[in-house]
Every structure is written in structure tokens, then in C-alpha cells.
Amino acid sequence: MNDNYFYDYVDILERVLSYAYNRKYATPFVERGISYSSFFQKIEKDSYGFPPIATDKAIIKEIFSKEEDNLEDLPTYNQCLWASESYMHIQLKTHLTFEAIFLFIPINKMYEYFPLYHEMDFSHIVKEFQRLFEQESVFSKLLKKYKYSLNKISENTGISYETLYSIKQRRREAEKASFATIIKISNVFNVRPETIAELEIL
């Protein structure tokens, strides 16, 4: 894998997180902006194999719809820098979407981890993510987050309860479910199909 640009991407994500932290943006908004940014989606798909041709100014404009001319004056916050590298290491290891990663370790939670983990090797935060990911599926996390029941989703989508339960429990790998099933579930939660399917983006 070509990871020559790994730290360039860490720097850009740090600028995004530091900008949001400085301007006091709600972290769910920031998470969604990163997850749906064309730049970060390309990082997911190319696994850091392309040079960072976009500037932090352009990416902040895409995510926050703000024109900023003085980003060089933006402070760097230690927790934002550490969180940025942590997220990049997790994505590099798992190949999951950033949207899926944020479900298990939201930005606020990552900041809470900072005092405990920041002096450790990054493999420790990657292992913590993997531990959380092994405990439950993305679908299960979304059900809890939005307080939806399988019965309700079955009624709304026409997908059988048994199929939904299998996907929730990872008894039937989500990527083996039909494309139509994945699309229906992703539409319920307004998330990307790759996120529901827990696909490794390669």
C-alpha cells in the first residue's frame, strides 16, 4: 500500500478539526461533513495513494461552506492533531468509511481518549476501535442511536425481521445482502450504503 501521503492527510484533517474546534461547530455536523467530503471519500478509496492536491482552504469551504483567507493563523490544538492521526491510522488499518468509524469513536469521544492514549503508540487506539467494532455491527449502533426497532424498520422497508436481525448480529454478512436491501436500510438512517455494509473501501 502506498502510504507516502499519510501525514499530509493527517495535517489536512487536523486543520478541519482545529477549525471546527476553534469555531465551536457541533461535532455531529463535522463528522457528517468529513464523511461526505469528496476529498475524504477519495482518501478512503485510494488508501492514501494520491498526493493531497486540495488545499485545507478548499476542504474547509466544502465542509463548512465558509471562505477563509487566514487559516495560517488558526491555532493547532493538541487533541485535534492527535485525533486526526488516530482516525487516519484506524482508517488505514480497517479501510472502513469515516462515517462508520465515527459511529464507534465520535470526535468528542476521541478527544476524551486524548489524555489516556496520546503518549502511547497509535496501535493502542486502533486496537480500542477494533474492540468496539467487534462488539456490535454498524447497523446495531444505528438502531441504538436513533432508537429504532427491527419491527419498525421491517414495516417501513418490507425487509423481513429475520434478515434484519441477521445483519444486526453479523450472522449474515451485510455485503452478502442484496444491493436493494442495503440501499433501503441506508435510506432509513440517511447514511452511505458502504457504511451499512461495513465494506472495506479499497
Q: What is the pTM of this model?
A: 0.92
Query: For the domain 138-196, what is the CATH code?
Result: 1.10.260.40
Q: What is the pLDDT of residues 121-134, one digit of tens each?
A: 999 999 999 999 99
CB–CB of 5/51 below 8 Å? Answer: yes
Q: What residue segments make up the domains of the chain, in order of their start?
A: 6-134, 138-196
DSSP letter for 162, please: H
Closest C-alpha to 71, from 17, 111, 28 = 17
Over residues 49-68, the pLDDT tens digits come to 777 888 888 999 999 998 88
Q: Dig out the grid coordinates for 101 from the structure.
A: 468509524
d(CA 90, CA 125): 8
57/112 Cα distance (integer angstroms): 27
pLDDT digits (tens, 9 = 90+) for 90-136: 999 999 999 999 999 999 999 999 999 999 999 999 999 999 999 99
Tens digits of residue pLDDT in 148-178: 999 999 999 999 999 999 999 988 655 567 8
In this structure, are residues 47 and 2 in contact, taking their beta carbons and an 8 Å threshold? yes
Could you tell me the three cell numbers for 188? 432509513
The C-alpha atoms of residue 146 and residue 202 are separated, in whole angstroms, by: 29
Dihedral of the CA atoms 170, 30, 113, 78 (nearest 10)? 150
| Contact between 100 and 195 (Cβ < 8 Å) | yes
Phi, psi of 181 (to 5 degrees): -65, -45
The mean pLDDT value for 67-84 works out to 90
Contact between 39 and 83 (Cβ < 8 Å): no
Contacts (Cβ under 8 Å, ≥6 apart) of 113? 86, 105, 125, 128
